[in-house]
Amino acid sequence: MSNIAIISDIHGNKVALDEVLNDIDRRGITRVYCLGDLVGYYCFFNEVIETLANRNIPCIMGNHDFALVHNNGVIERSVTCTRILKWQMKFITEKARGFLSSLPEKLEIDMFGKKATCYHAGLADHRDEYLFDVSGDYLKEHNFKEDILVTGHTHLPSYKKFYNSQAWLNPGSVGQPRDGDNRASYVVISENLNIEFVRLSYNSRIIVEEMKKQGFEDYISAPLLTGQKIGL
Ligand SMILES: [Fe+2]
């Protein structure tokens, strides 16, 4: 059985996505899943959606995806995110919008005999909870019975195993890493739940230049060069 790759939070960064998918192909991995946030932030959102759709990669709907299709592009806490989503709404193709609208809020994956449940964000709020850490009590409180909880949204790669053999995994972000490492992040899972975090350099200057061309200020794309969270 093929190894499993989990990708998340691409945010219109097709350059980083290509690098990640090339790496996945080189490894011969055919089981790929995406935890959402295909849109938001960067300019190649149509291309990102088209690529994931063409490859039949199962995806979850992230909070940016939801805001674009169901909330008129509004993310209440961020003027910047809202401004970008409203810009993307003007240019999104009908096909891409249709694909985004069809995304579920949950994926269930068989990971070498273990059951994994994936959400964009967390168990308390499937789409918009910043889960920076997970405790055994958190899993219990939310009656989580499966073996592995997989979440994205924070853009921070994380993995934690619990005494009862449950685990929590976050693959980090393909398109906008926020842990001080500017390389694209994703995760490979192999037999016996062997977890490998992969980091890949890509040419982020292409995104920075294109965003400039589209009239967006540097503070939105410059953090790609350093791997920092953008100031809102
Ligand atoms: Fe998100």
Within a domain: 111: no
- Give yes or no for residue 189 having a pLDDT over 90: yes
Within a domain: 127: no
Within a domain: 82: yes
Q: How far is the CA of 151 from the centre of ligand 1 (A)?
A: 10
Task: Please tell me the predicted confidence (pLDDT) of residue 122.
Answer: 98
Tell me: the pLDDT tens digits for 82-96? 999 999 999 999 999
Question: 136: which 2 tokens?
Answer: 């055994």
Tell me: the pLDDT tens digits for 41-95? 999 999 999 999 999 999 999 999 999 999 999 999 999 999 999 999 999 999 9
CATH classification at residue 79: 3.60.21.10
Q: How far is the CA of 147 from the centre of ligand 1 (A)?
A: 23
Q: What is the pTM of this model?
A: 0.97
Q: How far is the CA of 70 from the centre of ligand 1 (A)?
A: 15
Within a domain: 19: yes
Q: How far is the CA of 184 from the centre of ligand 1 (A)?
A: 16
Within a domain: 70: yes
- Give yes or no for residue 1 having a pLDDT over 90: no
Provide the domain limits for residue 60: 4-105+173-226
The full 3-state SS of the chain, as one line of letters, equals CCCEEEECCCCCCHHHHHHHHHHHHHCCCCEEEECCCCCCCCCCHHHHHHHHHHCCCCECCCHHHHHHHHCCCCCCCCHHHHHHHHHHHHHCCHHHHHHHHCCCCCEEEEECCEEEEEECCCCCCCCCCCCCCCCHHHHHHCCCCCCEEEECCCCCCEEEECCCCCEEEECCCCCCCCCCCCCEEEEEEEHHHEEEEEEECCCCHHHHHHHHHCCCCHHHHCHHHHCCCCCC
Within a domain: 154: no
- Give yes or no for residue 232 having a pLDDT over 70: no
Within a domain: 177: yes
Percent of the chain with pLDDT over 90: 96
Within a domain: 214: yes
Q: How far is the CA of 9 from the centre of ligand 1 (A)?
A: 6
Number of domain units in the chain: 1
Banded model confidence at residue 97, pLDDT cuts 50, 70, 90:
very high
Banded model confidence at residue 230, pLDDT cuts 50, 70, 90:
confident
Tell me: the pLDDT tens digits for 20-31? 999 999 999 999
Task: Please tell me the predicted confidence (pLDDT) of residue 90.
Answer: 98
Side by side, which strands form the sheet with 148-151? 107-111, 114-119, 148-151, 167-170, 158-161
Q: How far is the CA of 161 from the centre of ligand 1 (A)?
A: 23
Task: Please tell me the predicted confidence (pLDDT) of residue 164.
Answer: 87
Q: Which residues contact 157 (CB under 8 A, 6 or more apart)?
A: 170, 171, 172, 179, 185, 187, 197
